[in-house]
Structure 1
Amino acid sequence: MTSIDIRELTKAYGPVRALDRLTVTVRPGRVTGFLGPNGAGKSTTMRLVLGLDRPTSGTALVGGRPYTSFAEPLRHVGAVLDAAAAHPARTARDHLLTLALSNRIPARRVDEVLQETGLAGAARRRVRTFSLGMRQRLGLATALLGDPPVLMLDEPTNGLDPEGIVHLRRLTRRLADEGRTVLISSHLMSEIALTADHLVVLGRGRLLADAPVKDFIGEDASLEEAYFRLTADSAEYTTREGRS
């Protein structure tokens, strides 16, 4: 069982704190929805966990270790942060095969994840010809390639058709039921309500909530209503009267 452990994590850009002493544990065996207004610090958190940026202070560990300490990182963490990350001149299969070889993952796994993400028929097409939805599927195939215990997905439904969204929902549910740690950042309240067991909510770089979905909603009519009530004073902008 592998968790994501974040302790007193702070990231400052000059006088601005994108993250302010964030402490939270993302646990295995459940789908955790990662919510917050624009600028709340969600993407910053994920980048710090993945070693793509350095914290001002604090720690972000995966299974008790920094992500950068893994010699074969795809075997430990699968991440989708940018659907445009694959080289446009490569085919989908070549993109995955290169990553598999560099992480000592058997080549047969490439065909397995292409099939699992619905890209088997497009395996030999160049990435430049892919729609946004197909690029998202390729990103998911990349995340699944090493059969990792931890999945981190940033807005994974962007560009997906309804069939792709339902497939992703079922897939993340299955992965969590297998005991993996699944963290999904999204602005789609309706999809998070259908997918997540637990919520972590940020506002202006600080932790606002860390609770099961049912407890978070409480007496509110919906996840959306509970979310807006909690984050009303944390949004960068709002159309509500009297706020700017």
Structure 2
Amino acid sequence: MIEVNELTKRYRHGVAVDGLSFTVRPGVVTGFLGPNGAGKTTTVRVLLGLAAPSAGEALVGGRAYASLHHPLREVGALLDANAVHPGRSAVDHLRWLARTNGIGPARTSSLLERVGLAGVARGRVGGFSLGMRQRLGIAAALLGDPGVLILDEPVNGLDPQGVRWIRELMRSLAAEGRTVLVSSHLMSEVELTADRLIVIGRGRLLADTTVGELVTGAGSASLEEAYLRLTDGAAEHRAGGGW
């Protein structure tokens, strides 16, 4: 379970996250939405130990990320599919990650097969398309068989078959009892994939509800329409903002 409790993050030029609290529970896919600059990136950076909170806390399984001995076995994350050395092969990239967390090499082979990259396992990542890098990033997120997954724009660069694949993968992972938090600006895809939604704006919580409740409560015909009504006026570009 992911728990964010009264989280605040201040930067020199403003407040990116302002007393934010929410819980992401296992067994469902939860969409994490908000306009550009809403504070989503900052929240996730604190969750993953990449930034320190100014106040409050962000926990995974009741613990701070920095206290996890083998973090890849607890949390898998896809934040930037291009954050891979271009001269390294797909299999070597996963093997090095695996070694840092005491994961055996057999796991890398099975994951490359699962994400559809077995045929290019020894190819250099620098020659991969964005969609292929996305698949490699998803393999890295799954490497430690974690109970929590945090995915930013997971369908970016994927073709229609790939979009359907990641949609079914996320739902299957949630059905296994994992906690799945996914951020996307594609409202149509979120509507097809997510069960619950966390919507923030200007660093504060705007909604913590189901997709159906948000749409019907707003009297809207679609999630996109309901989302735009909810976040109208909440978009603001500030230092430290993000997805």
Question: If the length of structure 2 is used for normalisation, what is the TM-score?
Answer: 0.95
Residue 7 in structure 1 maps to residue 5 in structure 2: yes
**Counterpart of 1:228 in structure 2: which amino acid?**
L
Runs of 4+ in 1 over 4 A off after TM superposition: none
Whether the 8 Å CA contact 1:79–1:143 is kept in 2: the answer is: yes
**Counterpart of 2:190 in structure 1: which amino acid?**
I
> Which residue of 120, 142, 145 corresponds with 2:143?
145
Residue 225 in structure 1 maps to residue 225 in structure 2: yes
Structure 1 unpaired stretches of 5+: 238-244
Distance, in Å, in 1 between the alignment partners of 2:13 and 2:91 is: 44
The DSSP-based 3-state class of the residue aligned with 2:181 is strand
* Alpha-carbon distance, 1:106 to partner: 1.7
Aligned-residue CA RMSD in angstroms?
0.9
**Counterpart of 2:121 in structure 1: which amino acid?**
A
Give the aligned partner of residue 183 of structure 2: 185
Give the aligned partner of residue 42 of structure 1: 40
Distance, in Å, in 2 between the alignment partners of 1:43 and 1:156 is: 15
The DSSP-based 3-state class of the residue aligned with 1:6 is strand
* Superposed counterparts of 1:57-76, under 5 Å: 57-76=55-74
Structure 2 unpaired stretches of 5+: 238-243
* Alpha-carbon distance, 1:107 to partner: 1.0
> Which residue of 91, 94, 102 corresponds with 1:93?
91
* Alpha-carbon distance, 1:236 to partner: 3.1
Distance, in Å, in 2 between the alignment partners of 1:163 and 1:21 is: 40
> Which residue of 139, 163, 166 corresponds with 2:164?
166
Distance, in Å, in 1 between the alignment partners of 2:41 and 2:158 is: 20
The DSSP-based 3-state class of the residue aligned with 2:38 is coil
User: Larger relative contact order (C-alpha < 8 A, sep ≥ 6)?
Assistant: 2
* Superposed counterparts of 1:224-243, under 5 Å: 224-236=224-236
Identity of aligned residues (%): 63
* Alpha-carbon distance, 1:15 to partner: 4.2
Please list the CA deviations of residues 44-74 of structure 1 after superposition, one character each: whole Å capped at 9, or x if unmatched: 1111100001111110000000111111111
Distance, in Å, in 1 between the alignment partners of 2:224 and 2:21 is: 24
The DSSP-based 3-state class of the residue aligned with 1:151 is strand
* Alpha-carbon distance, 1:214 to partner: 0.8
